[in-house]
Amino acid sequence: MPSPPEATPASSLQVIAMHGWAGDGLGWDLLRQALAAPDWHWQCGERGYGGRTPERPQWAPGGRRLLIGHSMGPHLLPPSLLAQAEAVVLLASFARFLPPGREGRRLQTALAGMAAQLAEGPDESDTARRAQRMLQAFLEKAASPDPPELLPHGPASQPVGPEGRRRLRDDLERLAACADLPPGFPEDVPVLIVEAGADRIVGPEARALLRQRLPHAEVLSFEGAGHCLLQAPLPRELRRWITGTLGP
């Protein structure tokens, strides 16, 4: 069990950021630096797909509470933590990942193929490199139309070990089962949905389902951006919304 975080001043802003599938907590560094403010206190969740130790963040007493989740990130957090958020930013995220009909069946087949690339094999070295190649291919698609060289180092930067593969497989199953907002999601707080118009991971059907599920959310769309939102003017727009919603 992690130690409870220290209390923060009532005027401060707590930010908990959770990465999605195949990411890690270090992937928030650039956004955190761009949004840096002396009274913003960041914690980044960590699933442990690569060499980093899994870490589950906790809200501290005091301060406003903002949750930022990318893609599957909100679905990887405990309901009790989600329920305490006072505002939520959903970056290229979803409620139901597999839409009904043909598109959902296509994505289900793709997920099964990815799981097969994460399966255990007789040679650990070959298995670890096979998993790494699969993650690299996935992240190249997630970065598109931006070059994958813009992605930060993460779990795909090295061969993927047994524990990382297990967690990735488990979360692929969880991804396929995502049929609604994650348990504990605070539907009565301000929500900003950030859509990537050129997203090749979360398709138009899933994006539409999320808008329908959260009809009172503010929606911000970057038409030419990919799933990773690498070159979108995200910091400026997030700061505008956060300070307008929770105060400077």
pLDDT at 90: 98
Is the bond preceding residue 145 a cis peptide, omega within 30 degrees? yes
Q: What is the pLDDT of residues 36-66, one digit of tens each?
A: 777 899 999 999 999 899 999 999 998 999 9
Distance (Å) of CA 66 to CA 81, 176, 233: 11, 27, 20
pLDDT at 9: 65
The structure's pTM equals 0.94
Q: Which of 20, 12, 1, 9 is nearest to 58 (CA)?
A: 1
Assess contact for 65 and 14: CB atoms under 8 A.
yes
The widest CA-to-CA distance across the chain, in whole angstroms, is: 55
Name the stretches of the chain with pLDDT < 50.
none
DSSP string covering the chain, please?
A: -PPPPPP--TTSEEEEEE--TT--GGGGHHHHHHT--TTEEEEE-B--SSSSPPB---PPSSSEEEEEEETTGGGGS-HHHHHT-SEEEEES--SBSS-SSHHHHHHHHHHHHHHHHTS--S-HHHHHHHHHHHHHHHHHHHHTTS-GGGSPP-GGGS---HHHHHHHHHHHHHHHH-BSSPTT--TTS-EEEEEETT-SSS-HHHHHHHHHHSTTSEEEEETT--TT-SSS-HHHHHHHHHHHHH--
Phi-psi region of 48 (alpha: psi -120 to 50; beta: other; left: phi over 0): left
Residue 60 CA to residue 58 CA, distance in Å, equals 6
DSSP string covering 2-67, please?
A: PPPPPP--TTSEEEEEE--TT--GGGGHHHHHHT--TTEEEEE-B--SSSSPPB---PPSSSEEEE
pLDDT at 37: 79
Residue 43 CA to residue 242 CA, distance in Å, equals 16
